[in-house]
C-alpha cells in the first residue's frame, strides 16, 4: 500500500454556507468514489478557498460527511489577479493500492478548466 495525493476543486456559484457544504460534499464524495476509497483510507485533507469565500470552512462539509477522525486544515488560496473566483480546492493524502497513474483527480463543473491535464 502506498501514500498518494488526490487533487480536486469545485467552483461555487455563490458564497453561501449551505451551497458550500453541498458542493464540497459532492467533491469529496466524488474523490472517494472515483478512487475506490473510504474514510479509513484518508490520512489528511488540505482545503483552500479563494479570498472571496467567507461563509464557512470547507472542512465543515467533511465533518458532516462523517470524516471525523482525519486531520483537516483550511487555508486561503493566493489572491492572483484574473484567477477563477469562488473556488474550493482539495488535496487529500490517502493510503491506496492504486498506482500514481491511476489516481483520479476530480475537478467538478467549471473548475475542470483549472487542470485540463488531470481533470477527470
Strand order in the sheet with 2-11: 72-76, 42-49, 87-96, 2-11, 106-108
Show Cβ contacts of residue 79 under 8 Å, excluding neighbours closer than 6 positions: 50, 51
Q: How many CB atoms lie within 10 A of CB 79?
A: 9
Q: Which residues are catalytic?
A: 7, 63, 74, 77, 89, 107, 115
Amino acid at each position: 500500500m502506498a501514500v498518494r495525493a488526490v487533487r480536486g476543486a469545485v467552483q461555487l456559484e455563490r458564497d453561501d454556507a449551505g451551497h458550500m457544504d453541498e458542493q464540497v460534499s459532492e467533491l469529496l464524495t466524488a474523490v472517494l468514489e472515483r478512487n475506490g476509497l473510504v474514510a479509513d483510507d484518508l490520512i489528511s485533507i488540505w482545503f483552500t478557498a479563494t479570498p472571496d469565500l467567507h461563509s464557512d470552512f470547507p472542512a465543515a462539509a467533511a465533518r458532516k460527511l462523517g470524516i471525523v477522525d482525519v486531520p483537516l486544515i483550511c487555508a486561503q488560496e493566493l489572491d492572483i489577479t484574473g484567477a477563477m473566483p469562488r473556488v474550493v480546492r482539495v488535496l487529500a493524502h490517502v493510503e491506496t493500492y492504486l498506482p500514481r497513474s491511476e489516481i483520479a483527480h476530480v475537478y467538478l463543473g467549471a473548475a475542470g478548466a483549472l487542470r485540463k491535464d488531470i481533470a477527470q
